[in-house]
Chains A and B, each alone.
Chain A
Amino acid sequence: MAEKMELNEVEVWDGNMAASQALRQAQIDVVAAYPITPSTPVVQNYGSFLANGYVDGEFVMVESEHAAMSGCVGAAAAGGRVATATSSQGFALMVEVLYQASGMRLPIVLVVVNRALAAPLNVNGDHSDMYLGRDSGWIQLDAYNAQEAYDLTLMAFRIGEDVDIRLPVMVHQDGFITSHTAENVRPLSDDEAYAFIGEYPMVNAMLDLAKPVTYGVQTEEDWHFEHKARQHHDLMTKVFGKVEEVFDAFEKKTGRKYNIVEEYFMDDADVAIVALGTTVDTAAYVAEKLRKEGIKAGVVSPRLIRPWPHAQMMEALKGVKAVACLDRSSPNGAMGMLYNEVAATMYQSDSKPVITNYVYGLGGRDFTVEHAENIYKELAANAEAGKPTTPLQQFIGLRGPKLSFY
């Protein structure tokens, strides 16, 4: 039995430490990992927990992220509770295996510390890797700070491992901004955290010699579609209820409230920013400030990125006149992901807000209060005019002449 760690009521942890503590408390059977900036400390901390007797399971050091996720898939199929962490290029290298994990319905937990994708090489944060995993069939949750990284990582196990769901879960946090900023985090004790997550409900374990199974079979046109339909169906219908249930249970335990779609100042908002990660806090700060100047500003953020919370987003943006979708990823030849998702959702809504797209913060470029203020002012003009007064897609915080499209 692993030793318990005595934790203070309030710990000073960065996002990485918060995630690794959650992994430790989950008493994982196997962590297979390869280090990559900025998520290295997640597995580095985990390694030192193991070396100091705080971890019971196996820590497998592999030769690449592809092997890390492959090891996780193997261990999860064999019947264990499994997790790992990655960022950026490492995430990209894992992508092939991410589809295996979700297709085999293995509830692996992956801590993703978001970072830009090369070239040019960059270790700082943006959401390129988060966006890369959108169609991989994983449940994706987004944390804005260290406390949330801890909370959501714990909850990820309970969501993904539910026998009805059995899907892998990613928990995202912003590279360096969250992952390397030390903040106050209120942890659960080891016993409470484990009791919250519960024993791992093993299903069809490959190592069950009395009932051997084959994982990741070849199905071709005969069965592939049926498997994918089932996976999509479960994502679209079962995950929302389960996530709500786990969020509620967590609120009862800790008093910390999470929502599938987070809303700030949205009760009577005319204009809203839709964003992810640490930007949400900046936008909420600015929205509160602008309300004193008479702009009814609000912020909406999908806590759950996949499955996409279509109904909840529509509800959150109901009656809003102008919406700005902030994408922290290079759209590379399209409107940004949030713009596309939100526009598709609101196209079905009775209230059709003016929706514009802002691309910002690539490769760790700061997103400032001033940026947010300008966006809200443009939104206010759009709301007043009832149509876009600015180009549909703009790049903000970029050096040189303005870049905008449509």
Chain B
Amino acid sequence: MKYLGWDELLPGAILFSFDEELDKDASYILPEERPYAETNSHEAYVGDWRVLKPVYNRDLCIDCQFCWIYCPDVSIISRDKKMIGVDYDHCKGCGICVEVCPTNPKSLLMFEERIPNEEALAQWPEKE
């Protein structure tokens, strides 16, 4: 990131989300195409201190989007209203997504960080 003097900064702790000026509503631009600013948190890794991680099971998911709505860190990746998975660079491991998932068994479950996802998926519980 370019180094600026204190007098060149924009007043206030404000960062622009995008590098370029947008000529249309940002929500209409596909996430992958967004010209994120270097300073945007999308570009930074902030999920380092997670102890437990949510693992996503596509086979059970009904794409209800509850997890996407409730995740406080915008770490659920959803495209065209379909769940794709979890953004582990940003997920803090709070478990809220698991809590709100309505399927039986749940399509998201918390596992220890060290357990590989394939192993976690292999030991998924049965329907109660």
The answer to whether A211 and B21 have CB atoms under 8 Å apart is: yes
Give the Cβ gap from A136 to chain B, nearest Cβ, in Å.
Answer: 15
CB interface residues, B 11-26, toward A, < 8 Å: 11-18, 21-26
The answer to whether A230 and B13 have CB atoms under 8 Å apart is: no
Q: CB of B125 within 8 A of chain A? A: no
The segment out of A10-18, A99-107, A172-180 that lies at the interface is A99-107
A77 to B11, CA, bound (A): 13
The answer to whether A214 and B15 have CB atoms under 8 Å apart is: yes
Number of interface residues of B (CB under 8 A): 24
The segment out of B1-9, B81-89, B101-109, B114-122 that lies at the interface is B1-9
Give the Cβ gap from B8 to chain A, nearest Cβ, in Å.
Answer: 9
CB interface residues, A 57-115, toward B, < 8 Å: 103-106
A164 to B21, CA, bound (A): 23
If A210-B22, A210-B25 touch, does A216 touch B6 (CB 8 Å cutoff)?
A: no
The answer to whether A210 and B7 have CB atoms under 8 Å apart is: no
Residue from A210, A226, A230, A234 in contact with B24 in the complex, judged by beta carbons closer than 8 Å:
A210
The answer to whether B41 and A214 have CB atoms under 8 Å apart is: yes
Number of interface residues of A (CB under 8 A): 25
Chain A contacts for B7, CB-based, 8 A: 230, 233
Give the Cβ gap from A188 to chain B, nearest Cβ, in Å.
Answer: 30
The answer to whether B41 and A103 have CB atoms under 8 Å apart is: no
A215 to B14, CA, bound (A): 5
The answer to whether A103 and B12 have CB atoms under 8 Å apart is: yes
Residue from A103, A212, A216, A234 in contact with B18 in the complex, judged by beta carbons closer than 8 Å:
A212
The segment out of A217-225, A308-316, A321-329, A397-405 that lies at the interface is A217-225
Residue from B13, B23, B24 in contact with A216 in the complex, judged by beta carbons closer than 8 Å:
B13
- Chain A minimum-CB-distance residue to B23: A210
Interface residues of B (CB under 8 A from A): 4-7, 9-18, 21-27, 39-41
Q: Name the 6 nearest CB pairs between A and B, nearest first.
A: A105-B12, A229-B6, A226-B6, A212-B17, A105-B11, A214-B15
A-B contact pairs, 22 of them (CB 8 A): A166-B11, A204-B10, A209-B26, A210-B21, A210-B24, A210-B25, A210-B26, A211-B21, A211-B22, A212-B22, A212-B26, A213-B14, A213-B15, A214-B41, A215-B12, A215-B13, A217-B41, A223-B9, A226-B6, A226-B9, A230-B11, A233-B6
